[in-house]
């Protein structure tokens, strides 16, 4: 298996694992409970994975001048899991991350959950919780505010998330 095949397999496996346990939770407990657990799981997974990436990539601890670069390096690796394309930039005191293509959203649509995600539940909250987890894993002693300003499921050209450090 070459590197591209391995990355494609990782994306496929993560997507199928997420979908499988979500469908089982939905069947057993209903969509609202499945949604709540989905949000919690993605935050926890992202936090733990970010801790691991921080260690193996030797990423820096929090510094107001370099935290965006640390996030960017970790986020590039996360994009493999989530089958995403996008970019990050700093505007003022905010880190802006944009997802211009989202494989997870494409899988949500294929599974028939698009209307539920458009209602503001699954996709948006999981996106925020995943980024919250990444920031917790990278910078455990800092707190951040998250504001999702654009959403692909709502017809926007990207999902745009503003991340602002609290108390700086």
- Round the CA-based radius of gyration of the chain to a whole number and report it: 16
Closest-CA residue to 150 (of 140, 158, 142, 162):
158
**Which of 20-34, 40-54, 72-86 bottoms out in mean pLDDT, i.e. has the lowest?**
72-86
Listing DSSP states for 138-156 in one string gives H-TT--EEEEEEE-GGGT-
Distance (Å, rounded) from C-alpha 64 to C-alpha 62? 7
**What are the structural domains of the chain?**
3-165 (3.30.1380.20)
- The string of pLDDT tens digits covering residues 77-136 is 888 777 889 999 888 778 999 999 988 788 777 777 777 665 566 788 888 999 999 999
Q: For residue 137, what pLDDT band results from cuts at 50, 70 and 90?
A: very high
Query: Which residue has tokens 């209903």?
Result: 30
pTM for this one?
A: 0.87
Please answer whether residues 62 and 147 qualify as being in contact, where contact means their C-beta atoms are separated by less than 8 angstroms.
no
Computed from CA positions of residues 65, 70, 76, 82, in that sequence, does the dihedral angle turn out positive or negative?
Answer: negative
């Amino acid at each position: 298996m070459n590197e591209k095949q391995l990355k494609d397999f990782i994306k496929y496996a993560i997507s199928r694992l997420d979908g499988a346990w979500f469908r089982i939770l939905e069947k057993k407990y209903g969509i609202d409970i499945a949604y709540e657990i989905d949000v919690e799981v993605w935050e926890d997974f992202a936090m733990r994975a970010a801790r691991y990436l921080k260690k193996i990539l030797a990423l820096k601890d929090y510094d107001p001048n370099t935290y965006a670069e640390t996030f960017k390096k970790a986020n590039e690796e996360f994009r493999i899991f989530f089958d995403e394309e996008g970019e990050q930039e700093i505007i003022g005191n905010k880190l802006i991350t944009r997802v211009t293509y989202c494989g997870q959203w494409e899988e949500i649509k294929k599974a028939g959950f698009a209307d539920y995600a458009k209602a503001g539940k699954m996709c948006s909250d999981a996106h925020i919780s995943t980024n919250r987890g990444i920031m917790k894993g990278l910078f455990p002693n800092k707190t951040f505010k998250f504001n999702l300003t654009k959403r692909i499921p709502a017809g926007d050209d990207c999902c745009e998330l503003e991340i602002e450090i609290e108390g700086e």
